[in-house]
Amino acid sequence: MSTRDNRELTKSHRGRVVAAWQKKDIKGDGPAGVGETRHIDGQQLGRARTSNMMKLIILASAVFSAFSLRAGATTTAHQEQTFESACSSLNTAVISPDVKTLFSEILPAGTALVVPGLDASCANSTTITTDLCRLSLNVTTSASSDVLIEVWLPRNWTGRFLSTGNGGINGCLSYDDMAYATSLGFSTTGSNNGHSGQNGTRFLNNVEVVRDYSYRALTTSAAVGKEVTASFYQKSHTKSYYLGCSTGGRQGFKMAQDFPEIFDGIVAGAPAFNFQGLMSWSGTFHSIIKRAGPDGFPPASTWAAVDAELLAQCDHLDGAIDGILEDPSMCNFRPEALICQNGQANSTCITGKQAATIRQFLSPVYGVNGSFVYPRLEPVPGFLAFISSSYSAKQFLYTDHWFKYALYNDPNLNTTFLGPENWQYAFENDPTGARTWSGNLTQMAARGTKLLHYHGLQDTLISSASSNTYYNLASRTMSLSSSDLDDFYRYFRISGMGHCTGGLGASAIGNRGPNAASLDPAENVLTAMMQWVEEGVAPNAVIGSRFQNGTKALGVEYTRSHCKFPLRNVLKPGGNYTNQGDWQCVL
């Protein structure tokens, strides 16, 4: 079906679409056609692509062909079971030696789920809003690695399947995302990404654990989740989706680049792609602070003045004085304007050395022979406070653990002053393909998979400039214009959004349950993706909501329509920045 402009939809039509998505009898083109093999392979992800793409490294469907419910193998017997007894039967399902059932349980709507025994660095609670069956499994992925997987099966299943992603270098399930997806009727899966906790110590001398982190935990959990779903409901899913941000965004792009047959629609936010470059860049901030010394880093008393000067230089570029930069890539912040003059108070100015430090923070990183490593941190209010809290005391945890345990296999490696040779080593030693930086989405486009990419422009953890760089890489690699890319790949910059969520602007876009203001596809990236896949109606903009005092319970203060890249948002002359209709997208 050809893509149609979402502006053709009337509000009443969008309402009918939302209502239809709540029903169970959804029409579709069948399951996503995941490739099958009879075991979990340890095959490394090579650079070469075959005509039939990479063979998926997943569990065989044969593993779960015996996953029949205890009440009997026939459809009739299955239908006679109650939802509760069907869930209970999963405890005693016949499992392959590679798959161990840990437990299954019913979680009624309203349950305040608290998961015991998790690593202290992982979030362990969420609120369940729909009746569901929770299944926990441990899956062996190699002789030296395994993945903890959960599959959540809602009573109100719509026929759709969704996989969730992870964050950082963590081994933590995204329970909030799983609760959100099941509330919308998806059978949903998540995993611990092959290790437990917000650290990378299990990577040490174990490339198979790194492989799980890079991609295999997701391909495995998707395959397992689909097979469990088909066995539990006695029919296959209709459409398959992915939702993730940060590392979850990188995982989404990994699927788009190398495993596009797994999902029909991928929603990937603030992606940690160019991962080797990102880890290298993240490590530069601590090094800059250490080299600058106590007198070279702007003290906290000056941060408000720095933010004010940044806004004075750049806030007007989008036509609105609202404290939010609609396109920070246009901001050429000059910190030298704040250098102290005689008689000024220290809290209102900085030294030349401190201005030089700020310039280093906001500069791209280049490596051996001037090779590109990572783009600059975009200048946005609050960047100094973030850098101080995240990087000043010690090396950034993710950088420290990635270089120590995944790259050098040396727990004693001093990562304080990583440099070009270390960054080059990272790029050259990536056997599992964690970098995730191929601009070739040809196989995804041919398969018909859709990719919705978003990035918050107030993100100080992963520079939004990286997303701009990737979009242009894909355009060059595939020799496609933006209008050509629109058929399968659309990228939206969300002004005023921090890392994946929050921030000062209209950042509630339905990418995560707690911040969803609406299920209207115009205002919700997940339902927008469903509409794109199932109705052929692609989003041309994403409407975000800003809550009163940043609190959803207080209601919406204003909304703003965020443009599809490469367009940027500008306020019409004489417009009110809180009025959505007063903004327009321009090149």
Measured at the alpha carbon of residue 166, what is the angle toward residues 161 and 169, in degrees to the nearest 5? Answer: 155
Report how far residue 200's alpha carbon sits from residue 206's, in angstroms, rounded to the nearest whole number.
Answer: 11
Does residue 145 have an active-site annotation? no
Helix (H, G, I), strand (E, B) or coil at 212: helix
Beta bridge partners of 561: 543
What residue has token string 């005509």?
A: 51
Does residue 212 have an active-site annotation? no
Sign of CA dihedral 296, 301, 307, 309: negative
Report how far residue 392's alpha carbon sits from residue 388's, in angstroms, rounded to the nearest whole number.
Answer: 5
Report how far residue 178's alpha carbon sits from residue 134's, in angstroms, rounded to the nearest whole number.
Answer: 11
Does residue 195 have an active-site annotation? no
The token pair that represents 313 in the structure block = 């230089």
The pairing of beta strand 450-456 with beta strand 583-586: unpaired
Catalytic residue among 78, 286, 499, 562: 499
The pairing of beta strand 160-164 with beta strand 187-191: parallel
Catalytic residue among 318, 459, 466, 545: 459
DSSP 119-185: -TTS--EEE--S-EEEEEEEEEEETTEEEEEEEEEETT--SEEEEE---TT-B---HHHHHHHHHTT
Sequence-separated (6 or more) residues with CB below 8 Å from residue 428: none
Helix 275-292 × helix 383-391 angle, to 10°: 90
The token pair that represents 168 in the structure block = 């950082």
148 neighbors 170 (Cβ within 8 angstroms): no
Catalytic residue among 246, 287, 464, 467: 246
> Which residues does the annotation mark as catalytic?
246, 459, 499
